[in-house]
Amino acid sequence: DDAAMQALEGDEEDGGDDDDDLTDQSEAWLDALAAMQAEEIEFNLKDADRADRARRMQEMGLSSEAIANTLDVAVDTALEEADAGMQTFEAEAYLDDIDYTTVESHTQVEKDPDTDEPLRQQMVYVDEHTCIGCTNCAMIAQSTFFMDDEHGRARVFQQWGDDDETIQVAIETCPVDCIHYVPYDELKRLEIDRRGQNINAKARLVSQGEYGGSSTAGGGPRAFTAPQQISGNARARCTNCPSRGCKDCPMFGVGKNPEFERREKERIEKQERRRFEQMREDQSKSVEL
Ligand code: SF4
């Protein structure tokens, strides 16, 4: 009986150790679980932060590839693809809908929604009185120039419809140098003035003044219109050289050429420095007195 009693007590003692072990294990499991939950929460927060940053970068117009490389995440490209598809569709629809006989490119220029200012100041304009209708520009930059049926001269129907380089080639290879860079305001004035123009197409052939006579185009006599005043004709033709920093650069508009702005800033800073030094000199003189 004594032996049985001791065994029972021994069992009870062992059972007590087992209970302690179980408690320790449970606590360890609970700690591990809490740590896992904390890690998961941290991961989710980081993930949400990355997703938020990716969304903002997408809104800023960065490509999916650039975002994925920067944040090291996969980016949903569905929105971007849909947007690109819509832009292509809109561009194609615009080209389909265009009425080449009446289109005025300044009405299609993309503007900043906040300021209503054109996103780009430099525009392209054909001096139609000088154009000889060789079709060169319309062949090279087909999404920008077309040949106007009425006068057989080239005309811009869409500003920057082609990339800059293609347009530059079209301009540089025009045999009579009659394609000009003009600022937006001038483009608007020229296109409005151009309405109803009547170019004397034969004047060149018979060596006579280009205007002053009349034609019967449009059903009755119409006076020929005078050549337009285009800033590019008023001086040496602009050769797309913004680095010269002309104040009235037709690429950027009056006073907006970056090189001109840089020089202006330098000039004003120098002026301020001189004024400040002069003030200090005057002050020290008055102290000496
Ligand atoms: S290249 Fe010059 S001359 Fe020839 S169509 Fe164009 S604007 Fe006219």
Question: Which residues on neighbouring strands pair with residue 156, listed in sequence order?
Answer: 145
| The pLDDT value given to residue 80 | 61
pLDDT tens digit string along 133-162?
999 999 999 999 999 888 889 999 999 999
> Which mutation among 128, 153, 228 tests ligand 1's pocket best, with the greatest number of atoms within 8 A of CB?
153
pLDDT tens digit string along 46-92?
777 777 777 777 776 677 777 777 766 655 566 666 666 666 555 55
In CATH, the architecture of 98-240 is 2-Layer Sandwich (3.30)
| The pLDDT value given to residue 79 | 61
**64-71 and 2-59 helices, crossing angle to 10°:** 140
Q: How far apart are CA 266 and CA 57, in angstroms?
A: 35
| The pLDDT value given to residue 146 | 94
Q: How far apart are CA 70 and CA 52, in angstroms?
A: 13
For residues 221 and 214, the answer to whether their CB atoms sit within 8 Å is yes
Q: How far apart are CA 81 and CA 84, in angstroms?
A: 5
What single letter denotes the amino acid at residue 122? Q
Nearest atom of ligand 1 to the alpha carbon of 177:
2
Ligand 1 neighbourhood includes 135 CB (under 6 angstroms): yes
Ligand 1 neighbourhood includes 137 CB (under 6 angstroms): yes
Which run of H or of E encompasses 9? Answer: helix 2-59
Closest to 159 in 3D by CA, of 148, 149, 145: 145
User: Which DSSP state fits 148?
Assistant: E
Below-70 pLDDT ranges, the chain:
1-17, 60-61, 71-98, 100-101, 201-222, 233-244, 250-251, 253, 289
User: How many whole angstroms from 103 Cα to the centroid of ligand 1?
Assistant: 18
CA dihedral angle for residue 237, residue 243, residue 245, residue 249, rounded to 10 degrees: 40
What single letter denotes the amino acid at residue 191? E
Nearest atom of ligand 1 to the alpha carbon of 136:
1
- Residue with CA at minimum distance from ligand 1 atom 8: 131
For residues 132 and 179, the answer to whether their CB atoms sit within 8 Å is no
User: How many whole angstroms from 132 Cα to the centroid of ligand 1?
Assistant: 6
| The pLDDT value given to residue 87 | 62
ipTM above 0.85, yes or no: yes
What single letter denotes the amino acid at residue 142? Q
Ligand 1 neighbourhood includes 142 CB (under 6 angstroms): no
Ligand 1 neighbourhood includes 176 CB (under 6 angstroms): yes
Q: How far is CA 155 from CA 94, 111, 179, 181, 184, in A?
A: 17, 22, 9, 13, 16
| The pLDDT value given to residue 3 | 52
- Residue with CA at minimum distance from ligand 1 atom 1: 174
Q: How far apart are CA 209 and CA 153, in angstroms?
A: 18
User: How many whole angstroms from 109 Cα to the centroid of ligand 1?
Assistant: 22
Domains in the chain: boundaries: 98-240
Ligand 1 neighbourhood includes 133 CB (under 6 angstroms): yes
